Amino acid sequence: MSTAEHGRVMRALVDLADSLVADYEPSELLQRLVDECTRLLDVDAAGLLLAGRDGTLQVAAASSERVRALELLQVRGDDGPCLQAYSLAERVVAGELAEVQARWSGFAADMAAAGLRSVAAVPLRLREHRLGALGLFSGREHVPSGEDVDVAQAFADIATIAVLQQQAVHDSRTVSAQLQQALDSRIVIEQAKGVVAAQLGLDMAQAFTLIRDHARTQHLSLKHVATGLTTGELTARDLRRRGAPAAPRQRR
């Protein structure tokens, strides 16, 4: 990692850490975290899984719809690098598709179908508590540098703090409630994506871009905008009228 790249990573980590001392929305911070991973690290996509109240992993954030679908397939198949990183609370790296095939045969086919060929995953954990996993995917076969994996773990640690901040970690019921709150926020965001997609004739990726851009330009949280869309207080056309960039329509 060059000096300039190191500087960008440090600024991103500091900015994310700074957000923890202010009022923040966990689901928005987790989305920002995966976006920063793809911007700063030598990877093409990232996804973050969190454990719900029953211990089942769910998608909390993803850098693209492609990776969100891939993470869902991993959870449904109950096998893959992120599940291993979560269950063993350890880092997992597979630099070649053949290695992915040898270790997680079903997931390898899903990765190949998504145009991805290598993966690394790091756990979200705090002492004995396992909270989830952060997955990093690349369209080429390569082993990420130890420095990149260290940075990914730092991002995962920030995600852990974001979910558990100001809570009694020893109380497992409180921990589960905090995890579920982040997941519930994501459900509202997914519902809002569907509303925007239906109202404007967009795909889900374009709908999310419109919601995210509106939230950023209006200095609102993703959950706030998403809730407005799902309750009818806000329409998809409102997003465009208030300055968010228009997303291209899909051909029908």
**Domain ranges in the chain?**
3-166, 169-252
Q: Take residue 63 and report the two structure tokens written for it.
A: 């850098």
Tell me which H or E stretch contains 28. Answer: helix 26-40
Nearest to 120 by CA among 140, 95, 89: 95
How far apart CA 172 and CA 149 sit, in angstroms, is 28
pLDDT by residue (tens digit) across 160-217? 877 776 444 445 555 666 667 777 788 889 999 999 999 999 999 999 999 989 988 8
Could you tell me if 129 and 86 are in contact, meaning their C-beta atoms sit under 8 angstroms apart?
no
Q: Which pLDDT belongs to residue 166?
A: 41
Model confidence, pTM = 0.67
CA distance 2 to 183: 36
pLDDT band at residue 21 under the 50/70/90 scheme: low
CATH class of 3-166: alpha beta
Which helix H or strand E contains 4, and what residues bound it? helix 3-19
